[in-house]
Amino acid sequence: MENELLSVSQSSIAQALATDYFCIYYVNVQNNKFIEYSASPEYKALGLPTTGDDLISFARTNFEEFIYPDDRERFLERFSKENVLRSLDQFGTFTMTFRMMFSAEPTYVHLKVTRMIEKEVRHAVIGISSIDEQMKAKEAFERTHHASITYSKVAQALAGDFFSIYVVEPDTGRFIEYSATKEYDRLGVEKAGEDFFNISRTNMARLICDDDRERFLGTFYKEKVMSILERDGSFTMKYRLMFGNTPVWVSMKATLLEDENGRHLIIGTNNIDAQMKREIEYQQHMAEAKTNARNDFLANMSHDIRTPMNAIIGYTNIARSHSDDPETVSNALEKIGSSSHFLLSLINDILDISKIESGKMQLNYAPCDLGDIFRRIEDITTLQAKDKSLLISYRHDSVQHFKVNSDELRIEQVLVNIISNAIKYTPAGKTVDLIAEEKHVKDNWYSYRFIVKDTGIGISEKYLPHIFESFTREEKTTINRIQGTGLGLAITAKIVELMGGTISVKSREGEGSEFVVELELEALEKVHTEKDSQNHSFDLSGCRILLVEDNDINAEIADMILTQYGIDVERAENGQIGLEQVQRHGRGYYDAVLMDIQMPVMNGYEAARKIRDLEGECYKTLPIIAMSANAYDEDVKECLAAGMNTHLAKPFNPGDLLNVLQAQIRNHLR
Ligand code: ADP
């Protein structure tokens, strides 16, 4: 079978194909001599010579007579030697459509010149075929689909923006070109036909930029396009078409129309080259800016982390080499303490900023008490102000509704940040005031204003617009060697924004600053009955605590703090051992469990769950306190979900540990 097929000569194949054409000529491009290869009876009837010296002038002079008068001028303009050669060089083909008069009625024909190289001589084949049926169908199609003159005028006007517009019947695949620009015409693609998707794929495989071909062919096929259209109503795709050697960005948009004439696809392609180039430039610019920002961030980080680390290591060495000089040791320990504290707040700020920037910061709304927040802020900041001999005052007389629905931790963080700044940037003897006010908005919604006023160094006009940007600090604060990172206010502003509030600042250099935060919050109770602040102190001596911790240093620190208060500490090196100890000693032996989270063999979550699952009520109520360096809200939630009572973030100070233990053990004993 194969042999038999191979024996069919190429010329018989060519002859079979030639029957689709009115005429086919074969031209030597070097000397322009031509010969007629085949001609149909109607064409023969025109009586034209079958060979000649110059095909282009032969066609221009002889065809003129047989071309439909309306198309003559356009034929002569386009079918010039110059145009044909340029098109052959750029695209490998030259095509044009016009009408010929074989009888009294004009017939639409398609002329196609294709370049070929044979035995190193450049040849071209010229064929003229009938596209009469398709074009008449197109006219009929236009008559039915563009019956309204306004509609077609509007469409024509809009079509000017497109390289090409096709109307396709998706069910049959029949298509016609509605409009096309001259440049698009030169690509030599069909103007009408059947099987739109496959024809387009074949054309695009030839015309599309190499880098976009695979993506185009992988997406632009009937089933996929139709399913997207049915889902979204439209389909768009951007790719580069090759106009000669020049890639041009285009955007193709297909829209599905359904009316009394049936379903139609309108497919328009337009030139978006300039826009895409601008967009690509912008993306590159943004990518560069991002890299620069990341580099700046790392440079800042490395400097800001190294500074306190340097102090910690330096003073540790000093303390070690002066162990016989208590005053130097105590001074060194104080510096180590303040540098560690700074390092910790820096790390917390970095975590907050990275959460904010990746859009992952979430607020935890829950009932909270502004009265408690004010009390805690007073506790923290009164000490700070006292250390600096500042006069600090708190006023919230006009606040009536203290119980609100909000994120308690974040409100506290915002206010502590601003007040700590006011204290930090205000010299001794001057004043810092916090005023809280409330105004009714509607129903049980109130607008709370928190005003922090200081009479400190103030902020320059030049720096003020940048005050809420990350890593910016005013030069004078760095010169005065006031410690800071320039992250606090960036975080503060972001949290306020997340809460739907506003933050503003007024300042005059040398006179002071005023920060105002406004938050609209939902009040939960009509009037606040201020609770007496309870004294949490509770004697823990004699209590027995199980410390489940794999890290020896951390275990030693916790052990030393706890034994100082007369607490009995037993240690388990991982969750598995902890679980066994709790089970072995049974009811009432331990007063509480301090549970690390990340441990080998069995982690803290699993150990807590297994303790809760043990048989007996005592295991359900035994206080289990997570002690973990994973301090994100999700981590805290996970601890609670595993059955633990509360969470203490590492590193902690002794006071925090004792407070938590006192509260939990007292609750348990109640
Ligand atoms: P940090 O205090 O860690 O440097 P912040 O983001 O909290 O960072 O503040 C940014 C800068 O704004 C500070 O470095 C300081 O120059 C200026 N600033 C903030 N609050 C005040 C204030 N109350 N008075 C004067 N300057 C302030």
- Token look-up 């810092």 returns 432
Report CA(486)–ligand 1 centroid distance (Å). 7
Domain membership flag for residue 279: no
The CATH number of the domain where 86 resides is what? 3.30.450
Where among 357, 381, 416 does a domain terminate? 357
Helices (H), 322-403: 326-357, 370-387
Domain count, the chain: 5
Residues 238 and 214 in one domain: yes
Domain membership flag for residue 154: no
Distance CA 494, CA 361 (A): 10
Report CA(421)–ligand 1 centroid distance (Å). 6
Sheet with 234-243: list strands edge to edge. 192-193, 175-180, 164-168, 262-271, 246-259, 234-243
- Between the two ends of the chain, the Cα-to-Cα distance in Å is 98
Proportion of the chain above pLDDT 90, given as a percent? 36
Domain membership flag for residue 530: no
Q: According to the model, what pLDDT value does residue 121 have? A: 60
> Three-state DSSP class for 619?
helix
Distance CA 383, CA 374 (A): 14
Distance CA 558, CA 543 (A): 15
Other CB atoms within 10 A of residue 20 CB: 11
Residues 321 and 226 in one domain: no
Residues 434 and 330 in one domain: no
Report CA(509)–ligand 1 centroid distance (Å). 13
Nearest ligand 1 atom to alpha carbon 485: 3
Domain membership flag for residue 532: no
Report CA(508)–ligand 1 centroid distance (Å). 14
pLDDT tens readout for residues 210-230: 999 999 999 999 999 999 988
Our CA dihedral for 169, 172, 178, 181, rounded to 10 degrees, sits at 120
Question: In a mutational test of the pocket of ligand 1, which residue from 344, 433, 473, 480 has the highest number of ligand atoms less than 8 Å from its CB?
Answer: 473
Distance CA 221, CA 232 (A): 16
Residue nearest to atom 7 of ligand 1 (CA): 488
Report CA(481)–ligand 1 centroid distance (Å). 12
pTM score, two decimals?
0.49
Other CB atoms within 10 A of residue 245 CB: 6
- Token look-up 């074989």 returns 102
Q: Is the pLDDT of residue 498 over 60?
A: yes
Residue nearest to atom 11 of ligand 1 (CA): 473
Q: According to the model, what pLDDT value does residue 10 have? A: 62
The CATH number of the domain where 379 resides is what? 3.30.565.10
Nearest ligand 1 atom to alpha carbon 490: 6
Is residue 651 reached through a cis peptide bond, with omega within 30 degrees of 0 on the bond before it? yes
Question: In a mutational test of the pocket of ligand 1, which residue from 430, 477, 513 has the highest number of ligand atoms less than 8 Å from its CB?
Answer: 477
Nearest ligand 1 atom to alpha carbon 512: 24
Nearest ligand 1 atom to alpha carbon 473: 14
**Bridge-based pairing state of the strands 21-28 and 366-369:** unpaired
Distance CA 345, CA 420 (A): 12
Overall residue count recorded for the chain in this entry: 670
Residues 417 and 440 in one domain: yes
CA R_g for the chain: 42
Where among 523, 558, 589 does a domain terminate? 523
- DSSP assigned state of 504: E
Q: According to the model, what pLDDT value does residue 532 have? A: 39
Q: Is the pLDDT of residue 481 over 80?
A: no
Q: Is the pLDDT of residue 134 over 70?
A: yes
Domain of residue 432 covers: 366-523
Domain membership flag for residue 96: yes
Distance CA 385, CA 390 (A): 5
Report CA(405)–ligand 1 centroid distance (Å). 29
Question: In a mutational test of the pocket of ligand 1, which residue from 467, 479, 494 has the highest number of ligand atoms less than 8 Å from its CB?
Answer: 467
Residue 527 — pLDDT band, cuts 50, 70, 90?
A: very low
Residues 372 and 332 in one domain: no
Residues 295 and 168 in one domain: no
Residues 37 and 163 in one domain: no
Nearest ligand 1 atom to alpha carbon 476: 16
Report CA(234)–ligand 1 centroid distance (Å). 51
Between 584 and 629, the higher pLDDT residue: 584
Q: According to the model, what pLDDT value does residue 549 have? A: 93
Domain membership flag for residue 454: yes
Helices (H), 407-551: 408-424, 475-479, 488-498
CB 81 within 8 A of CB 102: no
Domain membership flag for residue 222: yes
Amino acid at position 555, single letter? A
Other CB atoms within 10 A of residue 595 CB: 29
Residues 267 and 288 in one domain: no
* Token pair for 669: 């004993």
Between 514 and 260, the higher pLDDT residue: 514
Distance CA 437, CA 458 (A): 24
Q: Mean pLDDT over all residues of the chain? A: 85
Q: According to the model, what pLDDT value does residue 480 have? A: 65
Residues 215 and 251 in one domain: yes
Residues 345 and 293 in one domain: yes
Q: Is the pLDDT of residue 536 over 80?
A: no
Residues touching ligand 1 (Cβ under 6 Å) are 421-422, 425, 454, 456-459, 467, 473-474, 477, 484-490, 513
Lowest-confidence region among 106-115, 177-186, 591-600 = 177-186
Residue nearest to atom 20 of ligand 1 (CA): 421
Residue nearest to atom 3 of ligand 1 (CA): 484
Q: Residues near 217 by Cβ (< 8 Å), separated by ≥ 6?
A: 201, 204, 205
Residues 518 and 464 in one domain: yes
**Bridge-based pairing state of the strands 431-442 and 445-454:** antiparallel
Nearest ligand 1 atom to alpha carbon 487: 6
Between 531 and 538, the higher pLDDT residue: 538
Report CA(654)–ligand 1 centroid distance (Å). 29
Residue 650 half-sphere exposure, CB side, CA atoms within 13 Å? 18
* Token pair for 395: 């006023």
Distance CA 302, CA 62 (A): 83
Residues 241 and 344 in one domain: no
The CATH number of the domain where 337 resides is what? 1.10.287.130
Domain membership flag for residue 148: no
